[in-house]
A and B are shown apart, each in its own frame.
Chain A
Amino acid sequence: MIGSEPLKILIAEDNETDRMILERIIREQGYRTVMAKNGKEAIDQFLKEAPSIILMDALMPVVDGFEATQKIRFLAGDDFVPILFLTSLTDDLSLVSCLEAGGDDFISKPYRPVVLAAKIQAYRRMLVMHQTLRHQRDEIARSNEHMLQEQQIAKKVFDNVAHMGCLDAANIKHVLSPMSVFNGDVLIAARKPSGGLVVLLGDFTGHGLPAAIGAMPISEIFYGMAAKGFGIENILREINQKLKMILPVGFFCCASMIDISYAQQRIKLWNGGLPDVLLRQKDGSVKRFESEHLPLGILSVDKFKADCVQHEMRLDDRVYLFSDGIVDIRNEQGKLFGIGHIYTMLSQTGETETLFERLIESAIEYMGPEGHEDDLTLVEVTMEPEQSQFDGSVLAKSSAMPGARDWAFSFEFFNETVRDFNPIPLMLHVTMELPELNAFSSDLYTIFSELISNAVDHGLLGLDSALKTTPNGFQTYYQYRSERLRQLSEPSIQISLRHQPEAEGGLLTIEVKDSGPGFDIETIDGLMPGEGEYSGRGIPLLMTLCETVDYLGNGNTARVCYRWRPLPEDDKKEV
């Protein structure tokens, strides 16, 4: 460091008189001196004494000044050691050759102390500047390395959290390419207890660490709620509220979320700030679902809207979600790839199995070798047939705890809670206290939701399922439903669950009682329309899943018994 210590200056000069004159001048300026009589000594002294500045005679015996300079430059490496040539030569060519040999400047004989002092002072300033720069450069390099290292670790954690779930399912294809170590995009998928999938694609403002941090609570809420059977409206509301709370103003997450039901061959979707979600039907027609909402994390709870769009989605129909990265790709002429381009590609008939791969190839080809500016994320989900009942087993890893085996649980809810509260997640949560039941959560979900919707729609509201078979049926049905729900006076629903262990497995008895007028049990046959009719499938479905289905009292209590056996090891799926 150039500190309070006087600078050490090496003087290499073969003429003894000159050497003494220089030494005196320089010492008088307050510097320390080191002497050399030729180039070889200069090199030795440089290694031994590490001088800050060197005054070098050009013409010396043994090794001349030019050669010594080159050697010292090499030895100094990264260090800045100003070398000033001492020369009686005056022609331009000689002076130039001094600089070409690696000298920084030259001082002509005879020596004038004032000029010598000024030059040394000037090089001292350069030395200080050089040291500061180098110090800062090293500092930046160190902290950059440190940051990258931390990001790598954080990325591992992030990847474990944000890109897990069932993205590797056979009917999901996806690509995620990060612009920095971290991807600003979040892509998560989970199986629903009722069979089917929920997928969320989110794109945070900016890239890197801030974006990744926001992704953590999203995935936590997403997986937690999806596994418990919450609908996407509830999940979206919860995520929005959390992001609104933790993100600073100006940070938000554009997102689209889909809920695919295999049983109903239906898709429900929400899009807030991402490019159109595209639904490609088997015949090649493509439906676009535009963003209808503000991104997540902007609106307060009371203003946030989780309204979803529903559409039928048949076997082999495919749905595509994008972040704006792929839409914003520009070719060398600056022209956008655009959603229109993707739309056209998807509309083509022919082979659909490789549509996804062709789309990616086409995007990569379009952008050329320059690469992309934004995170580029794309996911394709294909509709599947309703799956086997064991699919729920992948929801959560069984706990090692034996869990609750012999218990009863009952609760009753009233008035606006009947109208607004969905008890199914709570019921599932209670039954999952017995970890082995995880494998049957799909069955249980279906049973719970059929029982509850029968109790509300038929027991309390007296709605006629036949309504649903008319052309505008579904809409009319749900319109009636919400009107009548509002008009109900003091409704209540009582739910009782009882689990009894058996030698192998157990028996779960579920009773749901509503405060409605009930119905004539004798007409139960009338509630069971033939196969293929969609709306009335509730009770036959219960009958296939449960050992017994009974209506008690005046018909306002439904009781079902569900008997389960542990699954053979082979049927258990790894998470």
Chain B
Amino acid sequence: MSITTQVSPSGDLLTIGIQGRFDFSSHQDFRAAYENSEGSISAYQVDMKETSYLDSSALGMLLLLRDYAGGDSAKISIVNCNEDVKKIFTISNFELLFDIQ
């Protein structure tokens, strides 16, 4: 598992990429990824192109990000999910909280 971050040229969109398994072991790194971001971030994108798996504590971490980014007014999109990952989002109905693509 590794986590990468990238701020858009305009400085307001933070993209967090997750490689490999997204589970409790990513907790510290994932939190650091958005808490240590510089600039005036107003929207977040979680890139799951290289995410092989996520468990319920990963869902919890996404909720923490949502909380950090303003709760109901948070702008978070989750992109490039594979079929397995998408299924987990569907079962938990996270589409209601996140923009999942």
Instruction: Judge if B85 is at the interface, Cβ distance under 8 Å.
Output: no
A254 to B67, CA, bound (A): 19
Instruction: Judge if A272 is at the interface, Cβ distance under 8 Å.
Output: yes
Among B24, B67, B93, which residue has its beta carbon within 8 angstroms of that of A291? B93
- Name A residues whose Cβ lies closer than 8 Å to a Cβ of B: 203, 205-206, 249-252, 254, 272-275, 290-295, 298, 324
Query: Which residues in A have their C-beta under 8 angstroms from that of B24?
Result: 206
- The interface centre, meaning the residue of B57, B60, B61, B96 with most chain A CB atoms within 10 A of its CB, is B60
State whether A291 touches B91 (Cβ < 8 A): yes
Tell me whether A206 and B56 are in contact in the complex, defined as CB-CB below 8 angstroms, given that A249-B63, A250-B61, A298-B63 are known contacts: yes
Query: Which residues in A have their C-beta under 8 angstroms from that of B92?
Result: 254, 273, 291, 294-295
Instruction: Judge if B43 is at the interface, Cβ distance under 8 Å.
Output: no
**A/B pair count, beta carbons within 8 Å:** 49
Q: Nearest-CB distance from A298 to chain B (Å)?
A: 7
Query: Which residues in B have their C-beta under 8 angstroms from that of A273?
Result: 91-93
A65 to B59, CA, bound (A): 64
Query: Which residues in A have their C-beta under 8 angstroms from that of B60?
Result: 205-206, 249-252
Main secondary structure of the interface of B (DSSP, over half): helix
16 new A-B contacts at CB < 8 Å, known A203-B56, A206-B56, A324-B91? A206-B60, A249-B60, A249-B63, A250-B57, A250-B60, A250-B63, A250-B64, A251-B60, A252-B60, A252-B63, A273-B93, A275-B91, A290-B91, A291-B90, A294-B96, A295-B93
Instruction: Judge if B97 is at the interface, Cβ distance under 8 Å.
Output: yes
Query: Which residues in B have their C-beta under 8 angstroms from that of A298?
Result: 63, 97
Instruction: Judge if B94 is at the interface, Cβ distance under 8 Å.
Output: yes
Interface string of B60-75 (1 = CB under 8 A from A): 1101100100000000
A560 to B100, CA, bound (A): 57
How many B residues touch the partner, as a band? Answer: 10 to 19
Q: List 24 A-B contacts (CB under 8 A).
A: A205-B56, A205-B60, A206-B24, A206-B57, A206-B60, A249-B60, A249-B63, A250-B57, A250-B61, A250-B63, A250-B64, A251-B60, A252-B60, A254-B92, A273-B91, A273-B93, A274-B91, A275-B91, A291-B91, A291-B92, A291-B93, A294-B96, A295-B92, A324-B91
| CB nearest to B60 among chain A residues | A250
State whether A292 touches B93 (Cβ < 8 A): yes
Query: Which residues in B have their C-beta under 8 angstroms from that of A206?
Result: 24, 56-57, 60
- The interface centre, meaning the residue of A203, A291, A295 with most chain B CB atoms within 10 A of its CB, is A295
| CB nearest to B94 among chain A residues | A294
State whether B93 touches A293 (Cβ < 8 A): yes
Q: Nearest-CB distance from B96 to chain A (Å)?
A: 6
Interface string of B28-59 (1 = CB under 8 A from A): 00000000000000000000000000001101
Going nearest first, the 9 A-B pairs with the smallest beta carbon separation are A250-B60, A273-B92, A250-B64, A249-B67, A205-B56, A294-B93, A250-B63, A291-B91, A205-B60
A295 to B92, CA, bound (A): 6
| CB nearest to B84 among chain A residues | A336
| CB nearest to B62 among chain A residues | A250
A199 to B64, CA, bound (A): 30
Q: Nearest-CB distance from A249 to chain B (Å)?
A: 5
